[in-house]
Amino acid sequence: MNSYKKKILEARKQVLKLTIEQEKQIIEIYSKASSKLIDDILDMPDSRTKTHKIDCAKIINNYTKELYENLNNNILENTWESSYIQRKVILDFADQVAPNRHISDRLKNNITKISDNAVRTLIAGGYYEDGKTLSKRLWNITKENGKNIDTLIKTNIAGGANVRTLANELEKYVNPKKRLVSKSFKAGINSYKISYNAQRLARTSITHAAAETQIQNAKRNPFSLGLKWNLSASHSARMHGKQDECDDREGKVYKPSETPLQHPNCLCFFTEEVDTEKAIKELKKWSNGASNPKIDKWYGEEYTPKDISNKSTKTIARVDNKNGKIKISNIYLLNK
């Protein structure tokens, strides 16, 4: 096994480790949020006044807001980290094939710019048909969590539950470490599922950040032979022996411009097929004056990032202290 393939496998291990660590982090975020929510519920009086309803709305919306913000920061950080892991392989390739440091530095500078913009475009929803940003997807998930909590609280209050009973019932839903199902839950609401959609989005973001870093760089690398689809080691177990589109793609080498992104929750990955020996020889000839328009473009082209100036990149949530309602606004990323 050559050094390039070793680096590919090492990067794959690091991305898988990142995914596993993120799963633990998200469970912890939900667990801490649930503890605060229960404490706030226990501090409420047992009265059923208008003020009580507003206080209840504040508690739910503050929970939703803080949960969203903590998850958003975590998922963004890990999305970028996934790209950093993957781009190291590409940067090492540039070091391996470049005939001198000057050429290597120029190529690596372009690779870094391409990789950074790939992540920004991913966060802004630029690679998806529905155009939804990462923040918007996450906000929809946490908003649904808050809605389910509101339903659960109203159901228990209508049944005459006091604050302590309500808190006990609520903890069964909001704390994913409890893994219980309450009799007062409506169909589809249980602690098994509260963090599932956030976990699904987080796993997908890590996978797609690594994939788009590869795809966007491969499009510009004249020595790229394509991207090979590899099934994850856990594919069969995760599919319970069934097959899906990934099985049809296994082992296929796609042109960079025709490479399909993995489906949500997918752990399959790409390995870029490159002709390293050819790259070394042609770059050496090119550095000595031989004509090679493809290398000219790869080396000399000023990289222009994709225009995402009209895409919001972060959803901001604020809770009104007077009425307990939540307000939403967006931050836009302008290309420089």
Q: What is the pLDDT of residues 10-64, one digit of tens each?
A: 999 999 999 999 999 999 999 999 999 999 988 887 665 555 678 888 999 999 9
Is 301 a member of any domain? no
Q: Quote the percentage of the chain above a pLDDT of 70.
A: 83
In a domain, 73, yes or no: yes
What pLDDT band is residue 317 in, cutting at 50, 70 and 90? low
**pLDDT for residue 48:** 58
Residue 130 structural domain? 3-224
What is the number of structural domains in the chain? 1
Give a yes or no: residue 283 inside a domain: no
pLDDT at res. 102:
94
| 284-299: average pLDDT | 92
**pLDDT at 187 exceeding the cut of 50:** no
Using the predicted structure, report yes or no on whether residue 305 has a pLDDT greater than 80. no
- Rounded to whole angstroms, the Cα distance separating 19 from 269 reads 13
The two three-digit tokens of residue 36, written as one number: 């605060």
> Per the domain annotation, does 115 fall within a domain?
yes
| Other CB atoms within 10 Å distance of the CB of residue 136 | 19
Average pLDDT, the chain: 85
pLDDT tens column, 236-286: 777 677 778 899 999 999 999 999 999 999 999 999 999 999 999 999 999
- pLDDT, residue 51, reads 59
User: First vs last Cα of the chain: how many Å apart?
Assistant: 42
pLDDT of residue 307: 52
Range in 171-175, 226-230, 272-276 the model is least confident about:
171-175
Higher pLDDT, 181 or 201: 201
Question: Could you tell me the CA-to-CA distances from 139 to 132, 164, 170, 188, 250 in Å, in that order?
Answer: 11, 29, 21, 19, 34
Tokens at residue 336, please?
């420089």
Q: Are 333 and 309 in contact (CB under 8 A)?
A: yes
pLDDT over threshold 80, residue 318: no
Average pLDDT of the residues in 83-97: 96
Residue 195's nearest CA partner among 184, 203, 187 is 203
Residue 211 lies in a domain: yes
Among all chains, which residue has been given the structure tokens 């801490």?
A: 32
Residue 172 to residues 26, 162, 224, Cα–Cα distance (Å): 17, 16, 52
C-alpha span between 70 and 198 (Å, rounded):
12
- How large is the average pLDDT for residues 82-103? 96
pLDDT of residue 161: 79
Sheet of strand 224-230, all strands in order from the earlier edge strand to the far edge: 253-254, 224-230, 269-274
Residue 312 has, within 13 A of its CA and on its CB side, a CA count of 13
Query: Rounded to two decimals, what is the model's pTM?
Result: 0.87
Give the 3-state secondary structure of the chain: CCHHHHHHHHHHHHHHHHHHHHHHHHHHHHHHHHHHHHHHHHCCCCCCCHHHHHHHHHHHHHHHHHHHHHHHHHHHHHHHHHHHHHHHHHHHHHHHHCCCHHHHHHHHHHHHHHHHHHHHHHHCCCCCCCCCCHHHHHHHHHHHHHHHHHHHHHHHHHCCCCHHHHHHHHHHHHCCCCCCCCCCCCCCCCCCCCCHHHHHHHHHHHHHHHHHHHHHHHCCCCCEEEEEEECCCCHHHHCCCCCCHHHHHCCCEECHHHCCCCCCCCCCEEEEEECHHHHHHHHHHHHCCCCCHHHHHHHHCCCCCCCCCCCEEEEEEEECCCCCCEEEEEEECCCC
Does any domain span residue 42? yes
Does residue 99 sit within a domain? yes
In angstroms, the CA 65 to CA 88 distance is 35
- Average pLDDT score over residue span 294-313: 66
Number of residues that this document lists for the chain: 336
Q: What is the pLDDT of residue 336?
A: 33
Please check the confidence at residue 330 and state whether its pLDDT lies above 70: no
pLDDT for 185: 44
β-bridge mates for residue 102, sequence order = none
Answer whether residue 116 shows pLDDT above 90.
Answer: yes
Q: Is the residue at 294 inside a domain?
A: no
pLDDT score recorded for residue 335: 40
